[in-house]
């Protein structure tokens, strides 16, 4: 229904976001444009018909169509480019003016501050719609004894709006992936202790060895016992360091055993 040049075209829908009003619906679309991760959560279940304003339907349709075709959501600037020619050649002047007005208002207020509430309510609405549809489908599926499909439909409805799992992010904390994981062992010289099923070659660098045993089994070392300690000596910057010596590098004080080839000394 229109009333004058700048009237808003309203379409009645049985299931829509109209219950929260025009401002809420505009912020839903603004949330999609500003938060691509949230838009991805909605893409598979959101219907443009949930908007009861034609200019929001128009923008949402082009927004999701681009994402489905190119596997990436358009920026606001790109969306303007996408719809420019279509609006220029179109005959719906009211729709064009509504879109231009909305874009200008969104640009002037890119962060209204209440998008968190809008997103929460929208996801709640989407879950209810998905669950309602799943229950309606379950009636026919039950009559056809398709119980597994009923379970799958309910599960999908419950999961609506959850963050999609994109797999492992290899760029997160990527430096730790280059950490040397090799265990540098110092043999004790006692064959039985250095066995693979006990010390696996000896005491490892940075490890604390604790000898436990019954009384009189030879745990203690007397003055007459010679103890030989073997360790690796590191040649760093022309100087020799024991494994526990501290070396000053640009990333801070580092034990000699942990200094890498990329470290710069200070």
Secondary structure string (H, E, C) spanning 150-195: HHHHHHHHHCCCCCCCCCCCCCCCHHHHHCCCCCCEECCCCCCCCC
- The tokens 């009636």 sit on which residue? 139
In tens, the pLDDT along 25-35 reads 999 999 988 88
In tens, the pLDDT along 128-174 reads 888 888 888 888 888 888 888 888 888 887 777 665 555 556 666 66
14 pLDDT band (50/70/90 cuts)? low
Kindly state the average pLDDT of the residues 86-101: 85
Rounded to a whole number of angstroms, the CA Rg of the chain reads: 33
| Backbone phi and psi for residue 249, each to the nearest 5 degrees, phi listed first | -125, 175
Kindly state the average pLDDT of the residues 44-48: 84
- pLDDT at position 179, please? 63
In whole numbers, what is the pLDDT of the chain averaged over residues? 81
- pLDDT at position 213, please? 81
- pLDDT at position 111, please? 77
Q: Find out whether 152 and 171 touch, Cβ atoms under 8 Å.
A: no
- Tell me the sheet residues that pair with 247: 254
Q: How far apart are CA 123 and CA 33, in angstroms?
A: 16
| Backbone phi and psi for residue 260, each to the nearest 5 degrees, phi listed first | -105, 170
Q: What is this structure's pTM? A: 0.52
| Backbone phi and psi for residue 265, each to the nearest 5 degrees, phi listed first | -80, 155
Q: With a cut of 50, say whether residue 3 has pLDDT above it.
A: no
């Amino acid at each position: 229904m229109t009333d004058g040049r700048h009237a808003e075209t309203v379409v009645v829908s049985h299931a829509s976001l109209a219950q929260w009003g025009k401002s809420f619906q505009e912020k839903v679309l603004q949330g999609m444009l500003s938060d691509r991760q949230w838009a991805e959560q909605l893409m598979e279940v959101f219907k443009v018909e949930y908007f009861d304003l034609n200019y929001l339907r128009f923008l949402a349709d082009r927004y999701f169509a681009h994402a489905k075709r190119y596997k990436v959501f358009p920026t606001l600037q790109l969306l303007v480019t996408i719809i420019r020619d279509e609006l220029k050649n179109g005959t719906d002047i009211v729709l064009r003016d509504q879109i231009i007005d909305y874009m200008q208002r969104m640009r002037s207020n890119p962060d209204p501050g209440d998008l968190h509430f809008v997103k929460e309510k929208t996801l709640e609405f989407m879950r209810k719609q998905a669950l309602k549809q799943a229950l309606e489908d379950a009636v026919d599926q039950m009559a056809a004894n398709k119980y597994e499909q009923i379970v799958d439909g309910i599960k999908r409805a419950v999961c609506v709006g959850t963050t999609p799992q994109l797999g492992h992010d290899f760029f997160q904390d990527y430096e730790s992936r280059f950490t040397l994981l090799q265990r540098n062992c110092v043999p004790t010289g006692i064959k039985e202790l250095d066995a693979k099923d006990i010390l696996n070659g000896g005491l490892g660098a940075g490890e604390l060895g604790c000898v436990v045993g019954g009384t009189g089994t030879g745990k203690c070392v007397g003055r007459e016992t010679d103890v030989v300690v073997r360790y690796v000596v590191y040649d760093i910057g022309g100087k020799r360091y024991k494994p526990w010596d501290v070396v000053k590098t640009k990333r801070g004080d580092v034990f000699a055993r942990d200094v890498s080839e990329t470290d710069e000394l200070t």
